[in-house]
Amino acid sequence: MAPHIDDALLDDPDELLRKDSRQTLRALATAGAQVRESVTLAQEAGIDRFAQLDRPRSVLVAALGGSALVADVLELLAEPGSPVPVQARRNLPLPGWVGPLDLVVAVSLSGRAPGPLAIAAEAARRGASLLTVGADDSPLADVCRRARGVHIGVGRARTSSRTSLWSLLTPVLLGADAIGIVDTPAEGMTEVAERLDEAAETYRPTSESFVNPAKLLALQLAETVPMVLGDGPLSGVAAARAASMLARTARVPAPWGELPDAASQIVACFDGPYTAIGGRRPGTYDAGRIRLGDIDTSGWEPHHFAEPEGDLAEIPRGQSGQDIFADPFLDGPSMPQLGLLTLRDAPVEPPTSESAQSQALTDAVLETARDAGVRVMDVIAQPGRPLTRLAELVSTADFTATYLALGLGLDPSVSPHVADLNDRTR
């Protein structure tokens, strides 16, 4: 049975504010301001120093948890044309090849995350160049300054890495631009900030659910067992973020994938118990009929062997597969429906052969999903620079997960079980 979501609550700004104890929605709405503030902080900290240095042999990014997306985004943007390799690392050991010719980037909002802090310290010991992002009064900042690296603060009122993504990501991209591995100059960040401002306005708490895409998605996702699919590398990064936010913020597990590699694993789920097909298509159980000879019937009572009259018909394509005459008290609650949230990059203009193939595969997956009775939710980015398009998809996922948490009666920023885990591992 699907969890109950209070749709009336989503249209009550005062109640949303009351349940959102650490003002997650407000923090997400500051994303555009985070970009602008971080550009200023990075310039004041001397990010331009990297433009005066020789290009490093490689770049290693240490980030984890809510900050891990920083490494994913840098890898995504650098991969097409970077003259040097970019690699992500969560914790020690620092690869043996890292030395004075390399740049190590360590990101931690608090400046105290053990993995990035340990990697920064070891990189400094080996003489690597350092770029760190985090709280100014932190061990990470001290390590960087002793190594004569560049440390960039995250400004005030940044309490969660999940809602401070752009305070962490912007300085890293400016540093990567300075050494020539990505094209993300300070002036180009203006477009990103504006797109994030537009998203914050569209997804604001006072916007009613019938015109608020994030609230609509939250209502739809609450009725499903969700999966998230990106249609390519850029939207794949957004899909990973969406799955993480659904789990960490809304407490809803959601597997994710990226086309083309994940097509089979996503489509295979359409044969499972959460769709109209539910294992009852031809070639599985004889068009929906279970053969008693194929299963172990030892220990069954006589009434277990009673078969319905006539053959069970194959479920028509595109139907929910739910029995409208089912009694939830006698038959038990019905299974929730499988949901597919697709995050799609803006169409390539003019189209190329590669984009046409990608579009055809995406269309085929969505058609297959609808035929199987999967609830499809489709989000498509508007045109813009790659980072701008990614920002739009990430913002949609962030607001959606937060509204889903609030609608389910959960505080998006406080998890009792995470608190228990932290207490037990101190």
106 and 245 belong to one structural domain: no
Three-state secondary structure readout of 146-200:
HCCCEEECCCCCCCCCCCCHHHHHHHHHHHHHHCCCCCCCCCCHHHHHHHHHHHH
Would residue 36 count as lying in a domain? no
pLDDT at 281: 52
Are the C-beta atoms of 87 and 60 separated by less than 8 Å? yes
Would residue 313 count as lying in a domain? no
pLDDT tens for 341-356 read: 999 999 998 999 999 9
Would residue 170 count as lying in a domain? yes
pLDDT at 336: 83
The range of the structural domain enclosing residue 238 comes to 7-17+202-272+335-415
pLDDT at 325: 55
143 and 257 belong to one structural domain: no
pLDDT at 311: 41
pLDDT at 26: 96
Separation between Cα atoms, residue 108 and residue 61, nearest integer Å: 11
pLDDT at 292 over 50: no
pTM over 0.95: no
pLDDT at 111: 95
pLDDT tens for 393-409 read: 999 999 999 999 999 99
215 and 165 belong to one structural domain: no
- Alpha helices, DSSP H only, in 252-385? 263-268, 353-371
pLDDT at 277: 62
**What average pLDDT does this structure show over 269-285?**
68
229 and 341 belong to one structural domain: yes
**What average pLDDT does this structure show over 237-244?**
97
101 and 206 belong to one structural domain: no
Cis peptide before 282 (omega within 30 of 0): no
Would residue 280 count as lying in a domain? no
103 and 239 belong to one structural domain: no
Separation between Cα atoms, residue 166 and residue 67, nearest integer Å: 10
- pLDDT above 70 covers a percentage of the chain that reads 86
155 and 254 belong to one structural domain: no
Would residue 408 count as lying in a domain? yes
225 and 129 belong to one structural domain: no
Distance from the first to the final alpha carbon of the chain = 37
Would residue 286 count as lying in a domain? no
Are the C-beta atoms of 377 and 222 separated by less than 8 Å? no
pLDDT at 77: 96
Compute the Cα dihedral for 115, 135, 152, 28 and give only its sign. positive
Would residue 253 count as lying in a domain? yes
The dihedral over CA atoms of 118, 122, 127, 130, expressed in degrees to the nearest 10, equals -10
Would residue 152 count as lying in a domain? yes
Q: Which of 180, 214, 232 delimits the end of a domain?
A: 180
E strands present in 197-322: 224-230, 256-258
144 and 240 belong to one structural domain: no
Residues sharing a CB contact under 8 Å with residue 205, sequence separation 6 or more, in sequence order: 13, 16, 17, 25
351 and 207 belong to one structural domain: yes
Are the C-beta atoms of 85 and 59 separated by less than 8 Å? yes
Separation between Cα atoms, residue 335 and residue 421, nearest integer Å: 31
pLDDT at 306: 44
Name the average pLDDT for the chain.
88
Are the C-beta atoms of 234 and 390 separated by less than 8 Å? yes
pLDDT tens for 297-348 read: 444 444 444 444 444 334 344 444 455 555 555 555 567 899 999 999 999 9
Q: Which of 131, 149, 180 delimits the end of a domain?
A: 180
CB atoms under 10 Å from CB of 38, counted, come to 29
**What average pLDDT does this structure show over 133-141?**
96
Q: Which of 145, 180, 215 delimits the end of a domain?
A: 180
249 and 112 belong to one structural domain: no
170 and 255 belong to one structural domain: no
* Comparison of pLDDT for 304 and 382, the residue scoring more: 382
Report how many domains make up the chain.
2
CATH of the domain at 361: 3.40.50.10490
